[in-house]
A and B are shown apart, each in its own frame.
Chain A
Amino acid sequence: MRTLLADSFEQIVAAQQPRVLAICRRLLGETGEAEEAAQDTFLKLHRCWSQIEGDPGPWLYRTAVNTCLDRRRGPRRSVELVEMADRRRGPAELAEIAQRWARVKRALEQLPERERAAITLRDIEGLETREVAKLLEITEGTVRSQIASARMKLRRLV
Protein backbone atom coordinates (compact mmCIF):
# COMPACT_ATOMS: atom_id res chain seq x y z
CA MET A 1 0.00 0.00 0.00
CA ARG A 2 1.26 3.40 -0.92
CA THR A 3 0.19 4.91 2.35
CA LEU A 4 3.14 7.17 2.74
CA LEU A 5 4.42 9.67 0.23
CA ALA A 6 7.84 8.34 1.06
CA ASP A 7 7.02 5.03 -0.68
CA SER A 8 9.44 4.83 -3.52
CA PHE A 9 8.83 3.31 -6.90
CA GLU A 10 11.29 0.54 -6.06
CA GLN A 11 9.38 -0.32 -2.89
CA ILE A 12 6.12 -0.56 -4.82
CA VAL A 13 7.73 -2.80 -7.42
CA ALA A 14 9.16 -5.07 -4.74
CA ALA A 15 5.83 -5.28 -2.92
CA GLN A 16 3.59 -5.73 -5.98
CA GLN A 17 5.75 -7.84 -8.25
CA PRO A 18 4.50 -11.27 -7.07
CA ARG A 19 0.86 -10.28 -7.45
CA VAL A 20 1.31 -8.64 -10.85
CA LEU A 21 3.30 -11.62 -12.09
CA ALA A 22 0.60 -13.98 -10.82
CA ILE A 23 -2.06 -12.10 -12.83
CA CYS A 24 0.12 -12.17 -15.95
CA ARG A 25 0.74 -15.87 -15.54
CA ARG A 26 -2.98 -16.45 -15.05
CA LEU A 27 -3.62 -14.77 -18.40
CA LEU A 28 -0.58 -15.77 -20.43
CA GLY A 29 0.48 -19.02 -18.82
CA GLU A 30 3.84 -19.96 -17.37
CA THR A 31 5.74 -18.31 -20.17
CA GLY A 32 8.47 -15.74 -20.59
CA GLU A 33 5.75 -13.58 -22.07
CA ALA A 34 4.05 -13.33 -18.67
CA GLU A 35 7.26 -11.92 -17.21
CA GLU A 36 7.58 -9.44 -20.07
CA ALA A 37 3.97 -8.34 -19.52
CA ALA A 38 4.68 -7.83 -15.81
CA GLN A 39 7.73 -5.71 -16.70
CA ASP A 40 5.64 -3.68 -19.16
CA THR A 41 3.08 -3.10 -16.41
CA PHE A 42 5.72 -1.63 -14.11
CA LEU A 43 7.12 0.48 -16.96
CA LYS A 44 3.63 1.92 -17.42
CA LEU A 45 3.48 2.58 -13.68
CA HIS A 46 6.79 4.40 -13.91
CA ARG A 47 5.46 6.58 -16.72
CA CYS A 48 2.26 7.42 -14.82
CA TRP A 49 3.91 7.56 -11.40
CA SER A 50 3.21 11.24 -10.78
CA GLN A 51 -0.49 10.87 -11.67
CA ILE A 52 -1.31 7.93 -9.40
CA GLU A 53 -2.58 8.85 -5.98
CA GLY A 54 -3.07 6.52 -3.08
CA ASP A 55 -2.77 2.75 -3.36
CA PRO A 56 -1.44 1.89 -6.83
CA GLY A 57 -2.54 -1.77 -6.43
CA PRO A 58 -5.89 -1.75 -8.30
CA TRP A 59 -4.40 0.43 -11.06
CA LEU A 60 -1.52 -2.02 -11.41
CA TYR A 61 -3.78 -5.08 -11.50
CA ARG A 62 -6.09 -3.82 -14.20
CA THR A 63 -3.12 -2.47 -16.17
CA ALA A 64 -1.59 -5.96 -15.93
CA VAL A 65 -4.81 -7.53 -17.27
CA ASN A 66 -4.99 -5.03 -20.13
CA THR A 67 -1.28 -5.44 -20.95
CA CYS A 68 -1.78 -9.20 -21.20
CA LEU A 69 -4.85 -8.71 -23.36
CA ASP A 70 -2.78 -6.63 -25.79
CA ARG A 71 -0.24 -9.42 -26.08
CA ARG A 72 -2.64 -12.24 -26.61
CA ARG A 73 -3.25 -13.78 -29.99
CA GLY A 74 -6.33 -15.59 -28.82
CA PRO A 75 -8.41 -16.35 -25.76
CA ARG A 76 -6.50 -18.73 -23.53
CA ARG A 77 -9.48 -20.99 -22.93
CA SER A 78 -9.53 -21.79 -26.62
CA VAL A 79 -5.95 -23.02 -26.76
CA GLU A 80 -6.99 -26.64 -26.42
CA LEU A 81 -9.86 -26.14 -28.82
CA VAL A 82 -7.49 -24.58 -31.32
CA GLU A 83 -5.19 -27.57 -31.03
CA MET A 84 -8.14 -29.89 -31.44
CA ALA A 85 -9.33 -27.92 -34.45
CA ASP A 86 -5.83 -28.07 -35.86
CA ARG A 87 -5.84 -31.85 -35.67
CA ARG A 88 -9.40 -32.70 -36.50
CA ARG A 89 -11.03 -29.79 -38.24
CA GLY A 90 -8.39 -28.06 -40.26
CA PRO A 91 -7.59 -24.44 -40.91
CA ALA A 92 -11.14 -23.19 -41.50
CA GLU A 93 -12.07 -23.14 -37.83
CA LEU A 94 -8.69 -21.81 -36.82
CA ALA A 95 -9.30 -18.91 -39.20
CA GLU A 96 -12.77 -18.38 -37.73
CA ILE A 97 -11.36 -18.25 -34.20
CA ALA A 98 -8.65 -15.81 -35.28
CA GLN A 99 -11.17 -13.54 -37.01
CA ARG A 100 -13.50 -13.58 -34.03
CA TRP A 101 -10.66 -12.83 -31.66
CA ALA A 102 -9.58 -9.84 -33.79
CA ARG A 103 -13.18 -8.54 -33.79
CA VAL A 104 -13.58 -9.04 -30.03
CA LYS A 105 -10.23 -7.40 -29.32
CA ARG A 106 -11.17 -4.32 -31.36
CA ALA A 107 -14.43 -4.05 -29.41
CA LEU A 108 -12.69 -4.54 -26.05
CA GLU A 109 -10.27 -1.74 -26.89
CA GLN A 110 -13.19 0.66 -27.03
CA LEU A 111 -14.24 -0.04 -23.44
CA PRO A 112 -13.03 1.98 -20.46
CA GLU A 113 -9.98 0.18 -19.05
CA ARG A 114 -11.73 -0.77 -15.79
CA GLU A 115 -14.56 -2.48 -17.67
CA ARG A 116 -12.12 -4.09 -20.10
CA ALA A 117 -10.16 -5.66 -17.26
CA ALA A 118 -13.30 -6.94 -15.50
CA ILE A 119 -14.97 -8.38 -18.61
CA THR A 120 -11.73 -10.02 -19.78
CA LEU A 121 -11.40 -11.88 -16.51
CA ARG A 122 -15.11 -12.68 -16.16
CA ASP A 123 -16.25 -13.56 -19.69
CA ILE A 124 -13.08 -14.45 -21.56
CA GLU A 125 -11.10 -16.08 -18.76
CA GLY A 126 -14.27 -17.47 -17.19
CA LEU A 127 -13.45 -16.42 -13.62
CA GLU A 128 -16.23 -16.11 -11.04
CA THR A 129 -17.25 -12.58 -10.05
CA ARG A 130 -15.72 -12.97 -6.59
CA GLU A 131 -12.44 -14.13 -8.13
CA VAL A 132 -12.39 -11.08 -10.39
CA ALA A 133 -13.08 -8.85 -7.39
CA LYS A 134 -10.24 -10.46 -5.46
CA LEU A 135 -7.79 -10.23 -8.34
CA LEU A 136 -8.54 -6.58 -9.10
CA GLU A 137 -8.97 -5.62 -5.44
CA ILE A 138 -12.42 -4.14 -5.96
CA THR A 139 -15.80 -5.08 -4.51
CA GLU A 140 -18.06 -7.69 -6.09
CA GLY A 141 -20.70 -4.99 -6.55
CA THR A 142 -18.24 -2.94 -8.58
CA VAL A 143 -17.36 -5.98 -10.71
CA ARG A 144 -21.06 -6.63 -11.35
CA SER A 145 -21.77 -3.10 -12.51
CA GLN A 146 -18.61 -3.07 -14.65
CA ILE A 147 -19.40 -6.35 -16.39
CA ALA A 148 -23.06 -5.39 -16.93
CA SER A 149 -21.99 -2.11 -18.50
CA ALA A 150 -19.27 -3.83 -20.56
CA ARG A 151 -21.72 -6.46 -21.87
CA MET A 152 -24.22 -3.81 -22.92
CA LYS A 153 -21.49 -1.93 -24.80
CA LEU A 154 -19.95 -5.03 -26.36
CA ARG A 155 -23.35 -6.12 -27.61
CA ARG A 156 -23.42 -2.99 -29.75
CA LEU A 157 -19.75 -3.17 -30.73
CA VAL A 158 -19.17 -6.81 -31.66
Chain B
Amino acid sequence: MSCGQWDEEIALWAGGDSVGEEFLAHLQGCGRCQRELAEMRVARAEWADWTPRKRRGASWWWGVAAAVPLLLWVGWPRPVEVEVLALAMPAAPGVPAYVPVARMPVMKKALRREPAATMKILTDDPDVVILLLGDAE
Protein backbone atom coordinates (compact mmCIF):
# COMPACT_ATOMS: atom_id res chain seq x y z
CA MET B 1 0.00 0.00 0.00
CA SER B 2 1.48 3.34 -0.99
CA CYS B 3 1.89 5.97 1.70
CA GLY B 4 0.24 8.68 -0.42
CA GLN B 5 -3.15 7.16 0.07
CA TRP B 6 -3.02 7.89 3.78
CA ASP B 7 -2.81 11.65 3.22
CA GLU B 8 -6.48 12.20 4.02
CA GLU B 9 -6.13 10.25 7.28
CA ILE B 10 -3.03 12.25 8.17
CA ALA B 11 -4.98 15.49 7.64
CA LEU B 12 -7.85 14.20 9.77
CA TRP B 13 -5.68 12.77 12.55
CA ALA B 14 -3.68 16.01 12.75
CA GLY B 15 -6.87 17.83 13.70
CA GLY B 16 -8.04 15.26 16.20
CA ASP B 17 -10.62 13.64 13.93
CA SER B 18 -11.12 9.89 14.18
CA VAL B 19 -9.28 7.57 11.79
CA GLY B 20 -9.28 3.79 11.17
CA GLU B 21 -7.17 1.22 13.01
CA GLU B 22 -5.49 0.26 9.75
CA PHE B 23 -4.00 3.73 9.35
CA LEU B 24 -2.89 3.88 12.99
CA ALA B 25 -1.12 0.51 12.60
CA HIS B 26 0.62 1.79 9.46
CA LEU B 27 1.57 5.06 11.17
CA GLN B 28 3.39 3.23 13.97
CA GLY B 29 5.84 1.69 11.55
CA CYS B 30 6.16 4.41 8.90
CA GLY B 31 8.64 7.24 9.29
CA ARG B 32 7.34 9.07 6.23
CA CYS B 33 3.77 9.23 7.55
CA GLN B 34 4.99 10.24 11.02
CA ARG B 35 6.91 13.14 9.48
CA GLU B 36 3.92 14.12 7.35
CA LEU B 37 1.71 14.07 10.44
CA ALA B 38 4.15 16.22 12.42
CA GLU B 39 4.36 18.73 9.56
CA MET B 40 0.58 18.79 9.17
CA ARG B 41 0.18 19.48 12.89
CA VAL B 42 2.61 22.39 12.72
CA ALA B 43 0.85 23.77 9.63
CA ARG B 44 -2.59 23.37 11.18
CA ALA B 45 -1.54 25.30 14.27
CA GLU B 46 -1.07 28.30 11.97
CA TRP B 47 -4.79 28.59 11.30
CA ALA B 48 -6.33 26.63 14.16
CA ASP B 49 -4.29 27.48 17.25
CA TRP B 50 -4.75 31.12 18.14
CA THR B 51 -2.88 31.18 21.44
CA PRO B 52 -0.20 33.85 21.17
CA ARG B 53 3.13 32.14 20.81
CA LYS B 54 5.56 32.22 23.72
CA ARG B 55 8.65 34.27 23.13
CA ARG B 56 11.88 32.39 23.08
CA GLY B 57 14.62 33.35 25.51
CA ALA B 58 15.21 33.44 29.21
CA SER B 59 12.27 33.86 31.49
CA TRP B 60 11.81 36.95 33.63
CA TRP B 61 13.10 35.02 36.64
CA TRP B 62 16.56 35.36 35.16
CA GLY B 63 16.08 39.13 35.24
CA VAL B 64 15.14 38.96 38.92
CA ALA B 65 18.11 36.71 39.68
CA ALA B 66 20.45 39.12 37.89
CA ALA B 67 19.01 42.06 39.82
CA VAL B 68 19.79 40.66 43.30
CA PRO B 69 23.56 41.45 43.36
CA LEU B 70 22.83 44.89 41.89
CA LEU B 71 20.29 45.56 44.61
CA LEU B 72 22.88 44.68 47.22
CA TRP B 73 25.41 46.96 45.55
CA VAL B 74 23.18 49.98 45.06
CA GLY B 75 21.48 49.50 48.39
CA TRP B 76 17.84 48.89 48.99
CA PRO B 77 15.97 52.00 47.89
CA ARG B 78 14.73 54.04 50.83
CA PRO B 79 11.37 55.74 50.53
CA VAL B 80 11.52 59.45 49.82
CA GLU B 81 10.28 61.27 52.91
CA VAL B 82 7.49 63.69 52.18
CA GLU B 83 6.55 66.30 54.74
CA VAL B 84 2.91 67.13 54.49
CA LEU B 85 1.77 70.53 55.72
CA ALA B 86 -1.41 70.78 57.63
CA LEU B 87 -3.40 72.96 55.27
CA ALA B 88 -6.78 72.11 56.64
CA MET B 89 -8.00 75.61 57.33
CA PRO B 90 -11.76 75.43 57.22
CA ALA B 91 -13.18 77.87 54.70
CA ALA B 92 -16.05 80.17 55.53
CA PRO B 93 -19.39 78.75 54.46
CA GLY B 94 -19.97 79.39 50.75
CA VAL B 95 -16.42 80.69 50.16
CA PRO B 96 -14.06 78.32 48.38
CA ALA B 97 -10.85 77.65 50.26
CA TYR B 98 -7.92 79.47 48.69
CA VAL B 99 -4.48 78.05 49.14
CA PRO B 100 -1.80 80.03 47.32
CA VAL B 101 0.84 77.88 45.59
CA ALA B 102 3.58 79.77 47.44
CA ARG B 103 2.22 78.41 50.71
CA MET B 104 3.33 74.87 49.86
CA PRO B 105 7.15 75.14 49.63
CA VAL B 106 7.87 71.97 51.59
CA MET B 107 5.64 69.84 49.43
CA LYS B 108 7.11 71.32 46.27
CA LYS B 109 10.60 70.58 47.53
CA ALA B 110 9.74 67.04 48.49
CA LEU B 111 8.15 66.30 45.13
CA ARG B 112 11.10 67.82 43.29
CA ARG B 113 13.54 65.39 44.90
CA GLU B 114 14.57 62.81 42.37
CA PRO B 115 16.30 59.55 43.18
CA ALA B 116 20.03 59.92 42.66
CA ALA B 117 20.59 56.42 41.33
CA THR B 118 18.20 55.17 38.72
CA MET B 119 19.22 51.96 37.03
CA LYS B 120 17.37 50.28 34.23
CA ILE B 121 17.93 46.57 33.72
CA LEU B 122 16.74 45.20 30.43
CA THR B 123 15.78 41.54 30.40
CA ASP B 124 15.28 39.12 27.54
CA ASP B 125 11.57 39.71 27.83
CA PRO B 126 10.98 43.20 26.39
CA ASP B 127 7.96 43.57 28.65
CA VAL B 128 10.05 43.13 31.81
CA VAL B 129 12.25 46.07 32.71
CA ILE B 130 13.62 46.34 36.23
CA LEU B 131 14.08 49.85 37.59
CA LEU B 132 16.27 50.36 40.64
CA LEU B 133 15.69 53.63 42.47
CA GLY B 134 18.25 54.78 45.05
CA ASP B 135 18.20 57.80 47.36
CA ALA B 136 20.67 60.68 47.12
CA GLU B 137 21.44 60.62 50.82
Contacts and interface: CB of A to CB of B under 8 A. Distances in A.
Contact of A96 (B11, B47, B53): B53
A12 interface: no
Interface residues of B, number: 21
Interface residues on A, range: 20 to 34
B52 A81 contact: yes
Nearest to B125: A89
Is chain A's interface secondary structure helix, strand, loop, or mixed overall?
A: helix
Contacts of A96: 52-53
27 contacts: A75-B50, A81-B51, A81-B52, A88-B127, A90-B127, A93-B53, A96-B52, A96-B53, A100-B46, A100-B50, A103-B46, A119-B47, A123-B47, A129-B17, A147-B11, A147-B12, A147-B15, A147-B17, A148-B12, A149-B8, A149-B11, A151-B11, A151-B43, A154-B46, A155-B11, A155-B39, A158-B47
Interface of A: 75, 77-78, 81, 85, 88-90, 92-93, 96-97, 100, 103-104, 107-108, 119, 122-124, 126, 129, 144-145, 147-149, 151-152, 154-155, 158
Given A81-B51, A144-B12, 19 more contacts: A85-B52, A88-B127, A89-B127, A103-B46, A104-B46, A122-B15, A123-B44, A123-B48, A148-B9, A148-B11, A148-B12, A151-B40, A152-B7, A154-B44, A154-B47, A155-B39, A155-B40, A155-B44, A158-B46
